[in-house]
Structure 1
Amino acid sequence: MDFVLKLVAFIFTVSIAQSKEIVRDSRSFKLNGNIIYECVDLYKQPSLSHPLLQNHQIQLEPSFSISKPKNQVKNGSKSKNIIECLNGTVPILKNTKEYVASARYWEEKIFKPHTAESHGSHIAGVRSEGQGPYHGVSATLSVHDLNISGDQASYANIYVGSGVNNEVNFIQTGWMVNPSLFGDGRTWSYGYWKGANGKGCYNTICPGFIQVSKTDHLSGPLPHFPGELDRAMSISIQQDKKTGNWWTSDIRRNEPDVHIGYWPKELFDLLKNSADIVGVLGEVQASPSGISPPMGNGHRPTEEDIGSAHVEEVQIIDSNFVVQGSGKYKFENILDSDKCYGLIDGKDSILFKYGGPGGNSCGI
C-alpha cells in the first residue's frame, strides 16, 4: 500500500510539474495594449513561413565578434530586462490588428536610401557612399524622450543599403518615438527592412527577421534609469562572412554583446553580397497638417557636446570584413531643413551632433 501511495504521489507531482512547464512555455509579455510578445519555439517562428525561407537553416550565432570601441564602458546599451523566454524559445511579436494597420501606414513614410525622401520627412545625419562595398556599420546613439503628437514620428538609426535605378534594398535599426505605431509615447527600439520586389516591414510585422536571442527583442521600450544623464544605445548591423546573413546586435556596456537575430540573405536581391551605402541618421515624419516634430533631443546642436543629441563610436565593416573606425572614411553630411534642424561635426569619439525643435515651416 505504501508503494502504491508513493507511486500516486510521484505521478501527481510529475503531472503538476509538466502542467507548470506547459504554462511557462506558452507565457506572453504584454508591453502595452498594442504590443504583446509570446515565447515561441525557435524553429517554429513565423518568419520561417516566408516563401524565400522555405529551405533556410537557422544560424544560431554569427561567425564574427564585434570590435568594441575603446570607451565602450561609458556608452554601451543596457539590458532591457523585459522579456526572458525559456531555452529553445524566442520572443515573437503578436500582431494585433491595430499594430498591423499602423505599421503599414508608417511603412510608406520611412526614409529610403538612394531614393527621394517621402513627403513630410526630414533628415539630419551622415552617409558613406562610393567607398565600398560595405558589410556593416555600428554606432552609439544618444537616446531621448520626446513629446510628439500621435500623427508624427521621430527616429535615430544606423542603416545599410544598395540601390539600382528605382529599386532599393536596405536595413535600418535604432530608436523611435511613434505613438501611432506603438500605442504610447515612449522611446522604442525598432528594426526595418526592405528586400526583393520591394517587400519588407517594421520589426516582425511580416515574416523575415529571424529572432535568436531569448531575451533581447528587435523592438521594445528602452529603459530609462533614475538619475541617468548619458542615455545611449550601441547597436550594429553586420553581414556574416560565412552565411551572408545580416545580423543586428546590442553592444553591451559591461556584459557580453547580445546577438538579437538576423535578416537572412535570401530576403534580398541587392544586399546578398554587400551594401554600397552605410549611414547614421536622425529622421522625422511630419503630421498631415505639415507640422514637423522635434528631432534628436528637441534642441539644435551646440558646440558644447553636453546637451546635444549625438552619434559616436561609428565603425564600418569594410570590403574585407574588417572593422574600421569612422576616420578611415569620408562622410557626406545630409541636412534637408536647416530652418528646423541642425547638424554639426563633433569632436573626439563624437562623429556629429544633430536635432531641432521642428515646427510648421520646415519645408516639404
Structure 2
Amino acid sequence: MSLFLMFAILFGFYSEAYGKGSLDIDMKLKALNKPALKTIKSEDGDIIDCIDIYKQHAFNHPALRNHKIQMKPSVEFGAMKTTIPNNGSDGQITSQIWSKSGNCPTGTIPVRRVSREDIRRASSPSRFGKKPPHRYSFLDNALQQKGNFNITAENINLPRPKFISEAVLIALGYNYLGAQSDINVWNPPRVQASDYSSSQIWLLGGLSDAFESIEAGWAVNPSVFGDSRTRLFIYWTIDGYNQTGCFNLLCSGFVQTTTMFALGAAIEPVSTPSQTQYFFTASMFLDTNNGNWWLICANNVIGYWPGSLFSYLKHSATAVQWGGEVHSPNVRKNPHTITSMGSGQWASSLWAEASCHTNIRIKDYSLQIKYPEYLSEYADEYNCYSTNLNRRTYKSEPYFYFGGPGQNPRCP
C-alpha cells in the first residue's frame, strides 16, 4: 500500500470520526479557550476559566493591538429611581450559578469554556456565535431628520429579515449617549434546538444595511450553549451582522473587566407566573472622554466595547430598542416555530405574567437621564409575538410588556 493511499485512508477515518472542518474547530477552540489561572466547575455543568485580564480574547482584534485597558469608566450613567412594585414579589439578580462554586482572583476575568460540541452545532466554525445578517431601514431616516418617528410596518420598508422576529419599543429622533432598563428575567418555554429567544436592549447607529449595534440582556440559545438555560449575553456588530461581531466573548472585541459575572453563564432564579418576579438592571453608556461604551448589569461594571471598534457609535447612537427577539428558520412560515418570546405569554397579560422592561431611560447630549420623548411599538409578527406599553395610571411609570407563544391559532 502506498504512503499516499494510507494517508488518504487515515484522513478518511479522521474526517468520519471528527467531522468536516475538525482542524478549523481545533483552531477556533485554541483562540477562544485561553490558558486558565484557575478553573471553576459549576453545578450546572459549565466550566469557568479565570483568565489573565491582559490576555483575554479581546486583544486579538486588530484595532486593539496597542489598546490600554480601562479598568473603570471616567463618567457615570447616573442614578435612576427604581419604581418596580416593592411588594415583596420582586428581586434583583445579583449573581450567577457558577459563583456558588468559587470565584476568580483579582487580575483575572471569568470566561465560560467553549466545547467542541458547541462549535459543531454551528453551520461552520466561522459562523459560530453569530447572528444572521439583518437590516434596520429606519436608521437611514434617523440620520436624515429629527422629530417624532412613528415606526410601523409600512415605514420600516418590508420585507424584514427572514430569520428574526422582534417585538420592541423603539426610541428615535436624537443622538443617544446611553440607555437603561430593568429587564424582567424569564425562561421562555419551547425554545427549539435551532432557535434562540432573547430579552434585551439594543443601541444602534449607522446605515440600515451595515449598521453598528451593541446589545445586552438575557437569552435562551440552545444552538450556541447546547441547553435551555437563561443566560446573560452581549452582542456587537459594525456591519449589520454580516461578518463582524458575536455573542459574548466568542470573537475579539469586548473588553471584560469584572471578576463577578461570566458572559454566557446561566442566571437564576427566574420569574414564574403570578409569583416572584426577578430582574436585573442593564445600562449601556458612552464614555465621552474616549469613545468606549460601558456595560453595567446587576450593579456590576462588566466591561466595555472600545470606541476603536466603531465609526458611528464612537460618537453616539441614533436609535434604542427595548424588547425581545426570536431567531428561527421557521419565523414567517407556516408552520411557524413554537419557540416563545419573553415569558411565552401575550403582552396583554401584564405584570407577573408577561415579560417586561421597566424604568426605561435614555441619556442624550443634555446629559440628563430621562424617559424617552418619542417612542414607538413594533412587532414583526403581531399574531405570534405582541407588545404593550402600559401605564397603570396617567402619572405612573410606563411598563413595556412584550412576548408571546409563537405558533398558535392566530399564528399557525
Alignment TM-score, normalising by the size of structure 2: 0.73
1:70 is aligned, of 78, 82, 88, to 82
Q: 1 CA distance for matches of 2:321 and 2:164?
A: 17
What whole-Å deviation, never above 9, does each CA across 1:23-69 have from its counterpart, x for those lacking one? xx722234589853311111121211211001111000112233232
Shift of 1:338: 1.7
Q: What is aligned with 1:247?
A: 294
Q: 2 CA distance for matches of 1:59 and 1:221?
A: 26
Q: What is aligned with 1:51?
A: 62
What whole-Å deviation, never above 9, does each CA across 1:119-149 have from its counterpart, x for those lacking one? 132111111122x211111111111112222
Percent identity of the aligned residues? 27
1:124/1:343 contact within 8 Å kept:
yes
Q: 1:241 to 1:101 in 2, by over 3 A?
A: farther
Query: Residue type of the partner of 1:340?
Result: C
Q: 2 CA distance for matches of 1:269 and 1:183?
A: 34
**Number of residue pairs aligned between Structure 1 and Structure 2:** 333
What whole-Å deviation, never above 9, does each CA across 1:158-209 have from its counterpart, x for those lacking one? 0101122522110111011112211111111101100268411110001111
Q: 2 CA distance for matches of 1:117 and 1:97?
A: 33
Q: What is aligned with 1:40?
A: 51
1:159/1:237 contact within 8 Å kept:
no
2:200/2:322 contact within 8 Å kept:
yes
Q: What is aligned with 1:86?
A: 105
Q: 2 CA distance for matches of 1:93 and 1:318?
A: 34
2:323/2:402 contact within 8 Å kept:
no
2:169 partner SS: strand
Query: Which portions of structure 1, spanning 4 or more consecutive aligned residues, are displaced by more than 6 angstroms?
Result: 225-228, 360-364
Q: 1:106 to 1:226 in 2, by over 3 A?
A: closer
1:244/1:272 contact within 8 Å kept:
yes
1:343 partner SS: strand
Shift of 1:323: 1.7
2:221/2:228 contact within 8 Å kept:
yes
1:156/1:174 contact within 8 Å kept:
yes
Q: What is aligned with 1:358?
A: 406
Q: 2 CA distance for matches of 1:46 and 1:362?
A: 45
1:213 partner SS: coil
Query: Residue type of the partner of 1:29?
Result: I
1:346 aligns with 2:369: no
Q: What is aligned with 2:200?
A: 157
1:27 partner SS: strand
Query: Residue type of the partner of 2:356?
Result: H
Q: 2 CA distance for matches of 1:118 and 1:194?
A: 16
Q: 1:112 to 1:178 in 2, by over 3 A?
A: farther
Q: 2 CA distance for matches of 1:186 and 1:55?
A: 37
Q: What is aligned with 1:121?
A: 164
Q: 2 CA distance for matches of 1:177 and 1:203?
A: 13
Q: 2 CA distance for matches of 1:362 and 1:201?
A: 33
2:213/2:237 contact within 8 Å kept:
yes
Unaligned runs of 5+ in 2: 1-35, 139-158
